[in-house]
Structure 1
């Protein structure tokens, strides 16, 4: 028989458990942080590379509120007197959720934005081609990976000025921090090494081997035990211990153009969500046994990903679909896709970003940033059957009279030279005009860019001279046979 005192203790524990706040820990925060339910005070942001905008979404009803325009599209930004930002790309936010940090690769800048008013507070210019920026857990510093050089620029979070540099191997890709503020983890985009750095004195104390040189993204689990990072060139995701000896725990073959990873904690456990650009999917893995638990089709070229403050959703930027997709993490089903600006890269979810007021000041309509045409290429001599996915998707982002072309190429030979070109015949033959020569990565994929009035050429009206997109083996100087051809 259960003693009455024991029953009383059990009842008290149940009452306390029911009244206690749920703990989820939105990355990169700690597991002990309180869940923040989704509300109209939250914001989802996307950094958009070709429209040079930041889209601002209300997640309560998945509505685009407008964009923060940090720069102009091409060719206006070619002027030597141009002062705006170029290639808006990376994102981070302060621990108090009041400040958004936006990295622009082409203009070497970090723009700091007030989340309540969408107003630019300051712009700091750093070294060549910065990639990502994030605040330390104590909110005192911002670390900026300067990927075009060999250091992390450390900025003071009050003055936004550089105070020191952390020297790394060439090409630091991204940094994230242990939730307890002990370590920073810096992966590389040019060297096969992740550096563990003590935040107290900015010293490298560990060097973790990457399986390949190209890491674009890294995330730490809220419980402080693991660090996950992606390898875009080989299509892998690796996991290592977040504390000494920083041993590699797992290497997972995730797929071509593996982009970003983030961590979700919900009622079912803790999971890593990985965007696989070449497969147009998000893959979900348990963090305890690394098993694959879901594969979610989301749309063309998923890139940035970030969870809500209560872990019930993740938001995914679709680089070749100009959309932000919301996924319910309890069912792993897509519940909404919101139209946004051109070629979203990083995405962040900031709970309680707007503590009061409407939070729509200084926003502009999407405008030309929402105008994009989409094409597909398939293997020469084949057709795409119902339900099949074309190996290569192409987006033509309108920039006025011209478009920026971005092709998400898969299905080719690894480490092989190819040419993206225009041809005069639907079978890939005739007159060939090269647009961009490229080399595939070890997974047989690549991201290829070009600029020009391409939409007008490949979608010409009947009676006009139409061209077709084609991928040929070889180099611009000596092209070979067509391997992929545009399909209607």
Structure 2
């Protein structure tokens, strides 16, 4: 046996303990973020998680009810109410979260919603649904006050499923259609068509964003992000989702887009692929990508623009590549969730597009979130 020599047994033991302690050291703390709350629907858990964005920790989960499958959130401008699009089929409903108590109530709707969007003034909520209808909910009473049917053959409308219903800066309600990929603009009170249907260059037009100055609309569809001149009502450019910016039939679908608070960049999530696409809105060119582990549902920002949050469905979604399997992934996500694993929220700095800290673990199916300041 070799002699330990001058170190001595006690010294060697101390070194071993120190080495073991070093290996067992806890992970570094998350960098501090802006004070506020990120509400994240977790589709397969039938709840909405509340993340404290100052510490990046989940502090509460709000149940939305059995088999509700919450997927998309829309908050009123005053931050007092959050409306939850429930993808569950039986019975179709919208859940309303009252802040700061985070108590809930449910409002029945005609058919499963495909999205949920607040009006510019926060007084109404627009709900496009699978059953060929847009329902309009009054925020003051939480009741349905109007319906716009599709089809409405008497008004010359063809059967279409409205997938998006987002109010533009001009006050018109822009409606995107699932099958054709067209967008039209209607009067949000009468439902009269003001801007005729426009072919945007793809199908499944579910989400779109308006430029900060109100001159452009960015429409997301399978394979393509379309840049639309609102004054002339025409497509001026197509941005493709492939890594090299070219069109290929196997390109993933553009899903949800979000502008930074200052309007300088547009972030686009994709289904049938990974990563978040970053677009310079002055040049309408891709300028980078933020890596994700799987398909991502949305990007949300804190009000001060210092933090961005990506809802990442996780690596199990990589089994659904390309546009043909996009709807298969979506249907699996909002029904059985077979084979899908947990997701995460990725925190990043929009000034540099660099990831900040470790991802926040989530349950299966983190959806479209809402960031809100704290309420007293």
- TM-score normalised according to structure 2 size: 0.74
| 8 Å contact from structure 1 (residues 299, 318) kept in 2 | yes
Counterparts of 2:299 and 2:261, CA distance in 1:
14
List gaps (5 residues or longer) in structure 2.
1-32, 151-158, 243-251, 315-341
User: In the superposition, relative to structure 1, how do residues 85 and 118 fare at CA in structure 2: closer, same or farther (>3 Å)?
Assistant: farther
* 1:40-51 alignment, distance < 5 Å: 40=35, 42-51=36-45
Counterparts of 2:194 and 2:231, CA distance in 1:
9
Q: Given the alignment, which residue of 63, 69, 82 partners 1:100?
A: 82
2:141 matched to 1:159? yes
List gaps (5 residues or longer) in structure 1.
1-37, 72-83, 357-488
Counterparts of 2:365 and 2:106, CA distance in 1:
22
Q: Which residue of 2 aligns with 1:473?
A: none
Counterparts of 2:174 and 2:306, CA distance in 1:
26
Structure 1 residues 266-324: Cα deviation after superposition (integer angstroms, max 9, x where no partner) = 4xx61110112333201101112111111111222111222221223221111235111
Bigger mean CA offset, 336-345 vs 166-175 = 166-175
How far does residue 199 in structure 1 lie from its aligned partner after superposition? 3.1
2:193 matched to 1:199? no
Counterparts of 1:223 and 1:312, CA distance in 2:
21
Counterparts of 2:67 and 2:82, CA distance in 1:
15
Q: Which structure is higher in strand share?
A: 1
Counterparts of 1:276 and 1:143, CA distance in 2:
24
Structure 1 residues 27-72: Cα deviation after superposition (integer angstroms, max 9, x where no partner) = xxxxxxxxxxx632x211222211111111111221111211113x
| Aligned-partner SS, 1:250 | strand
Structure 1 residues 312-350: Cα deviation after superposition (integer angstroms, max 9, x where no partner) = 322111123511111211111111411122111212222
| 8 Å contact from structure 2 (residues 215, 231) kept in 1 | no
| 8 Å contact from structure 1 (residues 44, 57) kept in 2 | yes
| 8 Å contact from structure 1 (residues 85, 109) kept in 2 | no
2:163 matched to 1:173? yes
Aligned-residue CA RMSD (Å): 1.9
Q: Which residue of 2 aligns with 1:39?
A: 34
How far does residue 200 in structure 1 lie from its aligned partner after superposition? 4.8
Counterparts of 1:97 and 1:131, CA distance in 2:
22
Counterparts of 1:55 and 1:167, CA distance in 2:
33
Counterparts of 1:94 and 1:47, CA distance in 2:
16
| 8 Å contact from structure 1 (residues 175, 218) kept in 2 | no
2:174 matched to 1:185? yes
| Aligned-partner SS, 1:50 | helix
| Aligned-partner SS, 1:131 | coil
| 8 Å contact from structure 1 (residues 171, 191) kept in 2 | no
| 8 Å contact from structure 1 (residues 195, 204) kept in 2 | yes
Q: Given the alignment, which residue of 122, 139, 161 partners 1:139?
A: 122
2:258 matched to 1:262? yes
Counterparts of 2:300 and 2:137, CA distance in 1:
24
Q: Which structure is higher in helix share?
A: 2
Counterparts of 2:86 and 2:80, CA distance in 1:
20
Q: How many residues are treated as equivalent by the alignment?
A: 296
Counterparts of 1:276 and 1:164, CA distance in 2:
32
Counterparts of 1:123 and 1:288, CA distance in 2:
42
Q: Which residue of 2 aligns with 1:371?
A: none
Q: Given the alignment, which residue of 228, 237, 242 partners 1:240?
A: 228
* 1:461-480 alignment, distance < 5 Å: none
* 1:21-420 alignment, distance < 5 Å: 39-40=34-35, 42-71=36-65, 84-106=66-88, 107-120=91-104, 122-146=105-129, 148-168=130-150, 169-179=159-169, 182-206=171-195, 207-232=197-222, 235-241=223-229, 243-255=230-242, 256-266=252-262, 270-320=264-314, 321-336=342-357, 337-350=359-372, 352=373, 354-356=374-376
| Aligned-partner SS, 1:130 | coil
| 8 Å contact from structure 1 (residues 45, 349) kept in 2 | yes
Counterparts of 2:266 and 2:134, CA distance in 1:
26
| Aligned-partner SS, 1:345 | coil
Counterparts of 1:219 and 1:55, CA distance in 2:
25
How far does residue 163 in structure 1 lie from its aligned partner after superposition? 1.1
How far does residue 257 in structure 1 lie from its aligned partner after superposition? 3.4
Structure 1 residues 157-194: Cα deviation after superposition (integer angstroms, max 9, x where no partner) = 111111111234521112222245x1222212222211
| Aligned-partner SS, 1:344 | coil
Counterparts of 2:58 and 2:213, CA distance in 1:
33
| Aligned-partner SS, 1:303 | strand
